[in-house]
Amino acid sequence: MGNLLFHRHPPWVKEQLGWVHDFIEDKFLEASIDVLAHDVTFGEFEIDYLTTGGDNMMIQSWAFNAGTTNLPDAFGCIMDDHTYNNTDLEDFSASELATILPACENVCNTDKGLTRVDEKLPKKAHDLHETASPAGHCSHMSSHIKLSRLNLRPLSSRCSAQATRQQRRSHHDFNHFVCRSDASEATLQSPNKFKLAVKDNIATEGLPTTCSSAILSSHKSPYEATIVRQLRKRGAQVVGKTNMDEFGMGSHSLNSIHGPVLNPLSATPTSAGGSSGGSAVAVQTREADVALGTDTGGSIRLPAAYCGVVGYKPSYGMLSRFGVVPYANSLDTVGLLARDVDVIEDLMFSTRLDAEHDSQDPTSLSKSFRKKQQSQAATGRSRLRIGIPLEYNIEELDPKIKAAWSDAADLLQKSGIEVVPVSLPSTKHALSAYYVIAPAEASSNLAKYDGVRYGTRGDESDGAGEVLYSKTRGLGFGEEVRRRILLGAYSLSSEAMDNYFIQAQRVRKLVQRDFDRVFRLENPLYDEQQFDLSDMKDEVELQDKLGPSQVDFLLCPTAPTFAPRIEDIKRQTPVQVYMNDVFTVPASLAGLPAISIPAKIKSEDEEVDGSQRVAGLQLIGQYWDDKRLLSVAKNLLSQLPA
């Protein structure tokens, strides 16, 4: 299934599609359809219908899909190489031509393929009218053109492949922007300027900051986030705010009052990743050169992997969080998305964004720490060594992604980098610990949204006190946010804290220690530690297990699977959805820098969906080793197949 786009229709289309709207809503109950107002996001199919005009009748076969045209007066569609021509148009009456021709000419002039296949029938129009048409839907149609039959069937393989190559949906069909700025094109094209998209949980002056939540639907920030101000000084022109999972809670950008974000690589409604899905799509569609996101447990890296862009999560405390609506304070990290590592590297280190301390953010590392680390930057070290964490080779890992991971390791070896296996035994507990710690912090952070102190209030006539609070929060928060608030509140309760929250914090420390053991560099936040290797399994040679000076970086997949279809996600349980974060959460728990880069997947099958042709590879470095991490990522990306 894919996307159908009805784009500002000519009058005759509007008139005839009234009953089609109703018919489709019956067939696709989950669709949100208004053929006269906005995009339709339920399917990719061919429509066969009978068109009557005088004594002639034709069967017209259309294959609709979004984005093959971006015309002001027509809807996008594509089929074979067949297009309107003068002979075909002779079959229409003069009144029909008066409405059809302008749209046809616009489409034909674009060479994008508005097509119909005609088959003349020996019967008169009225012979089939009553039997073929859905009951009750003929009376309001044009006397010249009537839709008498609607059949839905999958597109032919040739048509599907052709449509995929032509990027079937327009950029405005992915629901990735919550709002757009009024910056002029001339301003955006100015020298030394770049287009910046900002995630909707980062405060901006003049634009709403809703966190994609009903409870903040009318919120406009009176101030601007530090990171936005810093980037504006470096030439950023904010083009808009991007859609996201509500308050950053989600892995697919589906939990939003603005609707789901769609993956631009896919011909069917497919996850763009979350929670920074809108930011990743803005970069992939080139509507932004750089996008700001936040990464709590993988919310930048996962969308980057699904959308085929670069997603970078800096070391915790490097970039200011002032002006970011918090989800989990000890995990939230502001990061960047772009199409190339070069862009991020230039912003971070050429413009010295990494040296910016923010006194308004208590988690921002001090100037003295930054200067000390800069003076002690790793230079002139021995041959680089990359670790392959054994625990990331899980049963659920897609074989094609595993092959891309292996190929990347081979490329690194050929370039002179040593690649060795390492073990991170606490990784298997990281996801469970994360989904205790993050909801616990979220339940505290979101307590202020009660309609009295902060946020949109529920029905004001509905009492006061707890009644008002419960109504406001029940209506204002989405299902996933409510679930995590309840989970967090329970884990912080007196009866559960010792068994859940405290244990999760201990696991977090173990995960952190695992990373510190395998990295060559010491963690600058902690004193040198002695590590006990007695609990390690005998299957791995001791020199390949753990050690305080083992490797420089870790290479692993960003996600275990390709971007899933939205219809498949809706059938998953919350726990199954949480599994998408299994490779990204460990670095977040340890506060380490990590970057996801796109790797093309080899496939000779032209019908393979675009979202299955790219996977994310993740590089993880020691704390504050961001500069070398980006350098290695750039080197690896340049070697990967284009």
Q: List, for residues 197-209, the tens digit of each pLDDT value.
A: 999 999 999 999 9
Read off the pLDDT of residues 84-97 as tens digits, 9 standing for 90 and up. 333 344 444 555 44
Beta strands in 39-135 (DSSP E): 45-53, 56-64
CB 250 within 8 A of CB 211: no
Count of domains observed in the chain:
2
Q: Is the dihedral of CA 20, 23, 28, 33 positive or negative?
A: positive
Looking at the structure, tell me whether residues 41 and 102 fall in a common domain. Answer: yes
User: Among the three residues 133, 168, 203, which one is the final residue of a domain in this structure?
Assistant: 168
Indicate whether 98 belongs to any domain: yes
Indicate whether 323 belongs to any domain: yes
User: Among the three residues 141, 168, 195, which one is the final residue of a domain in this structure?
Assistant: 168
Q: Which of 24-33, 251-260, 480-489, 621-630 has the lowest mean pLDDT?
A: 24-33
Query: What is the structure's pLDDT at 493?
Result: 96
CB 560 within 8 A of CB 397: yes
Indicate whether 478 belongs to any domain: no
Residues 6+ apart with CB under 8 A from 492: 440, 443, 444, 501
* Residue carrying the six token digits 């002179």: 416
How does the average pLDDT of the chain come out, rounded? 76
Q: Tell me the catalytic residues.
A: 199, 275, 299
Query: What is the structure's pLDDT at 377?
Result: 73
Read off the pLDDT of residues 539-588 as tens digits, 9 standing for 90 and up. 444 444 444 448 999 999 999 999 999 999 999 999 999 999 999 999 99
Task: Give the residue numbers spanning the domain of 405.
Answer: 174-427+507-639
Indicate whether 500 belongs to any domain: no
CB 568 within 8 A of CB 266: no
Position 145 pLDDT exceeds 50: no
Percent of the chain with pLDDT strictly greater than 90: 59
Looking at the structure, tell me whether residues 156 and 189 fall in a common domain. Answer: no
Across-strand partners of 614? 600
Peptide bond into 275 cis (omega under 30): yes
Looking at the structure, tell me whether residues 217 and 162 fall in a common domain. Answer: no
Indicate whether 534 belongs to any domain: yes
Looking at the structure, tell me whether residues 288 and 142 fall in a common domain. Answer: no
Looking at the structure, tell me whether residues 150 and 181 fall in a common domain. Answer: no
Looking at the structure, tell me whether residues 159 and 206 fall in a common domain. Answer: no
Indicate whether 463 belongs to any domain: no
Query: What is the structure's pLDDT at 450?
Result: 81
Tokens, residue 518:
């395998």
Looking at the structure, tell me whether residues 235 and 160 fall in a common domain. Answer: no
Position 75 pLDDT exceeds 60: no
Give one DSSP letter per residue of 28-46, joined into a string. -TT----TTTS-B-S--EE
Q: Hey, what amino acid is at 159?
A: C
Looking at the structure, tell me whether residues 207 and 123 fall in a common domain. Answer: no
Helices (H), 45-93: 86-89
Structure confidence at residue 351 as a pLDDT band (50, 70, 90): very high
Indicate whether 466 belongs to any domain: no
Indicate whether 473 belongs to any domain: no
CB 6 within 8 A of CB 13: yes
Looking at the structure, tell me whether residues 260 and 242 fall in a common domain. Answer: yes
Beta strands in 92-229 (DSSP E): 151-153, 177-180, 194-199
Q: Is the dihedral of CA 336, 338, 341, 347 positive or negative?
A: negative
Looking at the structure, tell me whether residues 286 and 330 fall in a common domain. Answer: yes
User: Among the three residues 168, 202, 222, which one is the final residue of a domain in this structure?
Assistant: 168
Looking at the structure, tell me whether residues 130 and 222 fall in a common domain. Answer: no
- Domain at 406, CATH number: 3.90.1300.10
Q: What mean pLDDT comes out for the span 514-542?
A: 69
Q: Smallest Cα–Cα separation from 79: which of 47, 50, 56, 104?
A: 47
Looking at the structure, tell me whether residues 300 and 253 fall in a common domain. Answer: yes
